[in-house]
Amino acid sequence: MHSLWNDAEAGRYRGDLALRVYTSRLLGRDRSLVLHGGGNTSVKLRQANLFGEEEDVLWVKGSGWDLETIEEAGFAPVRLAAARRLAELPALGDPEMVEQLAIHTLRAGAPPPSVEAILHAILPHRFVDHTHADAVVTVTDTADAAERVGEIYGDAVIVVPYVMPGFALARAVFELLHAAGGAQPGDSIQGLVLLKHGIFSFGDTARQSYERMIHLVGLAEDYLRGRGAWVLDPASAAGAAGAQPAGGAETRLAEPAAAAIAGLRRELSAAAGRPLIVTSRRDPRSLRFVRRPDLAELALQGPATPDHVLRTRRLPLLGRGAAAIDAPPVPAATAVAADTTAGTNWTAAVAAYVEAYRRYFAEHAAAAPEPKTMLDPAPRIVLDPELGLLAAGRTAAEAAIAAEIYQHTMDVIERADRLGGYRVLPAARLFEVEYWDLEQAKLRRAGEPPPLAGEVALVTGAASGIGKACVEALLARGAAVVGLDVEPRIADLFPRPAALGLRCDVTVEDEVAGALAAAVATFGGLDLLILNAGIFPASRDIAALGLDEWRRVMAVNLDANLILMRRCHPLLRLAPRGGRVAVIGSKNVPAPGPGVAAYSASKAALQQLARVAALEWGGDGIRVNIVHPNAVFDTALWTEERIADRAAAYGLDVAAYRRSNVLGVEVRSRDVAEAAVELCGPRFSRTTGAQVPVDGGNDRVI
């Protein structure tokens, strides 16, 4: 563990709040310290109010901000005296604590102060840092944690027995500080170690507090290293190979494995009552962990820190070994089979997990002081010896976060095991966090999810025109999207967790198979397929049409779509809400024009293929519909030269040709995309085999 402080970088940050931003980002850069919104930091400043009066203000990280990217706007300014006085109360409910902190926040529009704001306030130092460092958590997740912390740090830290975050923790630290005579600036105490939780450091400057954190965590790493409990194996570092989704050439999913993952996703979604995204990790480090003979003994204890329960649930589902939280092993007959009917093979395992989760909820909700609303009982982590580590979430971001958290959990588990045994909190204490008042309040405030939330779409020809517009429309509706295109720029065109751009020649079946394997590894399956990729050759009369050109057009516009439909069918039939296909056809199907025989014939044949698919696939719950656009000029198919050429073929000037329809409007890519995506949405759940023109009205078609 080394300090990342850089004088040149720090020099660009003026003032204590700006330096607080800088060192917060330094902490956020290191995934072994904080993950995805975890941890918090603060600084105490004296500043003038509107009346010119000096007052002390606690600037503390706001909820919803990530330390890696935090800005000054991400800190909430809270009256320090008010926050400190709250700690003097013998008891305070967390919802009321949040309300009181909001009352004493000095800037309208500031984020809600961290739930640990009061703890930050009562520490006398100007700068305070808090992380969930892997090394420290490893040490505290052992049976003799307090003794080990004392061995590492001596009197440099105050050890805090586990207390639930929020007011209870702040009050416990308040009492400890008073009993110890306080932790004053300049004395030997550099931090707090919270058992089963994390570590605090503090100091008079941003650099001192940050580098004390690095020093304290480094001592824990050195302790583990000296006992052979730090380096696990060459592939074990979380955030290295394990942080990358499967799907590369060396980790490409075989078709049976892809079908098994899609089947698992269907069962998890049924248990959750909504579609879920499932991402997988099959790197050597993850596979080594899930193949441990003592996996159940270790993994079925619980999460590394209680706050992880909000992302990963209390316990994982173990595939082909132990079915659920406290269920007996799954009979061999219900194990995941290596065939395309694997969807049914997860049913017993997921059902056993759900039943065990319901028992867990009933037992602990009965002892809660107020009524609790049960979360959906679907597991969020699945560990399978062949499929690896799988993580589920309502969105692609949620699934990816759960996966990364569990990758770090694997390291903590194995390191703690080498120290003599991994030991976490009992179920009752974890339930308190999973069903925290503040989390229950979020459930009550939650609105309806977007219409395609949790669903996975694949779009061909996604780098431009109609395909790109389809990707944007799908993302806007909450879907995760895989975009395929022959253009390499597709890989970086949609930089967000819910989008995966892959360079793929859809006429090459092996490339299509690889793209689908990557899609399943990243998102868990396939719900929607939009067949858009196509080519529009130069105008040529039939008398001059060569066979090579004819075959080239057919290969892209027809044959490639057959490959895609055949390859996607096993995944579409496992879609939680039923598969959907939207085919981008053409006005040239019902009303062809001169000079485009190859294009018109390929689109007509594609229409017939889609109509037959609608008939054949209805029994699998798959809907197939067709959109027929015309004269969509903001696509890669059209150049100014080609537009002029086609306009001349109809005896029109370019301006007239662009609006040569009954409504006299120009049709854009977005218009076509909206129609195609809506046909895949819930409003058309009873529609299949339909053909919808998006052409402004064509007199020949009408």
Give the residue numbers marked as catalytic: 599
Close Cβ partners of 254 (under 8 Å, ≥ 6 residues apart) = 517
The three-state secondary structure class of 550 is helix
What is the four-CA torsion angle of 367, 373, 374, 376, rounded to 10 degrees?
A: -160
Q: Give the C-alpha separation, 98 to 119, whole Å.
A: 13
Q: What does the buried/exposed string (b/e) look like for 493-508 if buried means 16 or more CB atoms within 10 Å of the residue's CB?
A: bbeebbbbbbebbbbe
What is the four-CA torsion angle of 229, 235, 240, 242, rounded to 10 degrees?
A: -100
Q: How many residues in total does the chain contain? A: 702
Please name which of 315, 311, 298 lies closest in space to residue 361, comparing C-alpha atoms. 315
Question: What are the strands of the beta sheet with 456-460, ordered from one edge?
Answer: 499-503, 480-485, 456-460, 528-531, 580-584, 623-629, 691-694
Close Cβ partners of 371 (under 8 Å, ≥ 6 residues apart) = 365
Phi, psi at residue 457, to the nearest 5°?
A: -120, 150
Region of 320 please: left (phi>0), alpha (psi -120 to 50) or beta.
Answer: left
520 token code pair:
């399943």
Distance (Å) of CA 45 to CA 25, 48, 57, 421, 496: 19, 10, 5, 44, 36
Q: Give the C-alpha separation, 325 to 354, whole Å.
A: 9
